[in-house]
Amino acid sequence: MPIDGVKNLITVGSGKGGVGKTTVSVNLAIALAQMGQKVGLLDADVYGPNVPLMMGIRDTPYAMENRIQPLEQHGVKLMSMGFLNPGDKPLIWRGPMLHSVMQQFIRQVDWGELDYLLVDLPPGTGDVALSLIQTAPITGAIVVSTPSEVALEDGRKAVLMFRQVKVELLGIVENMSYMIVPGTGQKIDVFGQGGGRRTAEAMDVPFLGELPLNPEVRVGGDSGRPIALRGEADEQAAPFFEMAKRVMERCAGGRRKAPTFSIED
């Protein structure tokens, strides 16, 4: 069943951790918001919720008329387990509990009217992703990888997982594609070159673009001031806005039907 008021539900996933999936989710959400879209970001990485830190907000949500009110920061509505379980205390939950919290985050949060609700999934192809996919119709999925073969091997598994559960792939994003040496302009391919584009072509998946390995992106995430806040005209932030435009183009067809699938399909 669709989420009332939400036009496009987009998942952002990866086959493995450490590829910058949350960084991509946060900056994509801000870029879309700065382009005039109404945007929400659901941090579904319940075991490692980093969205509160990256968005610079540590408040606690409250309920109104039995609906959880999302927090808002940088023009984006937010919900995260990090708001409900703050600090360094680990979350030790089994699958059924994860399914329940996904239902609550999707159905009991008052998201209001949104053009895009982005969902930052945990790495891998486990319970949270499957629970979400079975809960609401998803417009499409984004897979984040680096150019390295190790990351791409797991990224391909994420692509195949989304295909198996009949979720359309909006595209692959290659993060940490290259680094520009300050002061020299020299381009260094730290994790290899072109792996994301080649994988997208081989798997017949759209390629959403390359994002550089940029120390200022890291600083923005650590400080709660993501680099996309600088705006489209900023050279460092521009790649995220280009990615956002491609995502909007891919979503132009509108909301898809809820997937019906069996894990054995």
Number of domains comprising the chain: 1
Which pLDDT does position 253 carry in this prediction?
A: 60
- Residue 258 located in a structural domain: no
pLDDT bin (cut points 50, 70, 90) of residue 78 is: very high
3-state secondary structure 195-245: HHHHHHHHCCCCEEEECCCCHHHHHHHHHCCCHHHHCCCCCCCHHHHHHHH
Rounded CA-CA distance 194/241 in Å is: 20
Q: 228 pLDDT exceeds 80?
A: yes
pLDDT digits (tens, 9 = 90+) for 173-197: 999 988 887 777 778 888 788 889 9
- Residue 264 located in a structural domain: no
Which of 13-22, 47-56, 101-110, 121-130 is predicted with the least confidence, judged by mean pLDDT?
A: 121-130
pLDDT bin (cut points 50, 70, 90) of residue 260 is: very low
Residue 86 burial class via C-beta count within 10 angstroms: exposed 0-12, middle 13-18, buried 19 and up: middle
CATH number at residue 200: 3.40.50.300
Strand partners, 171: 142
pLDDT digits (tens, 9 = 90+) for 108-136: 899 999 999 999 998 776 666 777 777 78
Q: 230 pLDDT exceeds 90?
A: yes
pLDDT bin (cut points 50, 70, 90) of residue 264 is: very low
* pTM beyond cutoff 0.85: yes
3-state secondary structure the chain: CCCCCEEEEEEEECCCCCCCHHHHHHHHHHHHHHCCCCEEEEECCCCCCCHHHHHCCCCCCEEECCEEECEEECCEEEEEHHHHCCCCCCCCCCHHHHHHHHHHHHHCECCCCEEEEEEECCCCCCHHHHHHHHHCCCCEEEEEECCCHHHHHHHHHHHHHHHHCCCCEEEEEECCCCEECCCCCCEECCCCCCHHHHHHHHCCCCEEEECCCCHHHHHHHHHCCCHHHHCCCCCCCHHHHHHHHHHHHHHHHCCCCCCCCCCCC
Q: 165 pLDDT exceeds 60?
A: yes
- Residue 190 located in a structural domain: yes
Which pLDDT does position 145 carry in this prediction?
A: 93
Which pLDDT does position 54 carry in this prediction?
A: 96
Q: What is the mean pLDDT of the chain?
A: 86
Strand partners, 173: 144, 209
- Residue 263 located in a structural domain: no
What residue numbers bound the domain in which 44 lies? 6-253
Q: 91 pLDDT exceeds 90?
A: no
- Residue 262 located in a structural domain: no
- Residue 261 located in a structural domain: no
pLDDT digits (tens, 9 = 90+) for 59-75: 988 889 889 999 999 99
Which pLDDT does position 207 carry in this prediction?
A: 95
Q: 256 pLDDT exceeds 70?
A: no
- Residue 259 located in a structural domain: no
- Residue 68 located in a structural domain: yes
Which pLDDT does position 254 carry in this prediction?
A: 46
